[in-house]
Homo-oligomer: A and B are copies of this chain.
Amino acid sequence: MSKSLPVLSPVDTVACCSPLAREPLTRQQAEQVAPLLKAMADPVRLRLLSLIASHAGGEACVCDLTDAFSLSQPTISHHLKVLHEAGLLDREKRGIWVYYRARTDALSGLAALIAVP
């Protein structure tokens, strides 16, 4: 990996624009925001996000999550990666376990974008 991009955080990504219903998104804005929505637009990922966001302490270990689904461990891992790469989850390894934490700023930003003024 040699890509040293101007990494723009999900907060910036979503703080880019005024609400949907106030003024039209530009093509660039839409292309920035859509991946966030796409990451959430899967029932499994939506539940994962909700399980993590509503978990005690605002974070959850992967081991806490796997049991809630009848899916293979790699599949859960894959979905968590998608959410993480979209900027909706923070990832922290502690010992054997990996903890994911919801980016509440990204969620708030998205909500503000969708909300009707």
Contact = CB atoms under 8 A, between A and B. Distances in A.
A102 B108 CA distance: 21
Interface of A: 20-27, 30-31, 33-35, 37-38, 40-44, 46-47, 49-51, 53-54, 68, 102, 104, 107-108, 110-112, 114-116
Contact of A54 (B24, B49, B108): B24
Contacts of A112: 111, 115
Contact of A116 (B31, B33, B40, B104): B104
A11 to B, nearest CB: 13
Contacts of A102: 21
Given A107-B21, A108-B116, A27 B47 contact: yes
